[in-house]
Amino acid sequence: MLLENLQWIVSDAPVAYPDAVQFMENRVAEIRAGTAPETVWLLEHPPLYTAGTSAKREDLLQPDRFPVYEAGRGGQYTYHGPGQRIAYVMLDLHKRGRDVRCFVRDLEEWVILTLAQFGVRGELREGRIGIWVDRGTGARHERREDKIGAIGVRVRHWVTFHGIALNINPDLSHFAGIVPCGITGYGVTSLWDLGHTPTREEVDIALRQCFFEQFAKARSCSAP
């Protein structure tokens, strides 16, 4: 089994972003050296913005609102804060065909499976990273789609870090300080905003169950 030695860490108190990055840096090196197990870490951060390697300065609309950190992962600006569950995923892709595209697809499907546990249909959109929810047609007959999950990864020596962020019940107004992931014309939502009110503990259970369902498979994702 691919995940027989996986370490699962759950943090209840908010974790400072620099501390989380330092932990991931250390754990990635240890996984590569064979001295620590693959790891999934569930946590949340205090309110902050992160800038990925493709972030554009003009997309930081309110630079003084919250601390801003260079993330080192792919992607653009994201918000992290209370009510949002983050999963940092540190896996050895040597065991999984060294296929980064496959890994990202697994992350996407993991979020979609988790949302389905709460009656929410998460979807992918061509040209738009992340997980989306179709909100139907508005009063002006326009189609509304909101983002509920973000994905940003980094890979070093075929070991992954960073991961996903799933909106349970964050303050959605905090996203107004950035252009989330550089995508305009769309909103941001959460499970509670959609009328589903699971606790963080219930979401953690679903994340763990769906992670093993999605990742405990040896297969190729090379085909579309």
Give Cβ neighbours of residue 35 (< 8 Å, ≥ 6 apart). Answer: none
Residue 171 backbone dihedrals phi, psi, to 5 degrees? -75, 105
102 carries an active-site annotation: no
For 36, list phi and psi in degrees, rounded to 5. -145, 155
Q: What CA–CA distance (Å, rounded) separates 61 from 40? A: 32
Residues 160-177: b if buried by 16+ CB within 10 A, e if exposed: bbbbbbbbbbbebebbeb
Catalytic, out of 102, 181, 210, 221: 181
| Coil, helix or strand at residue 72 | coil
Name the residues annotated as catalytic: 181
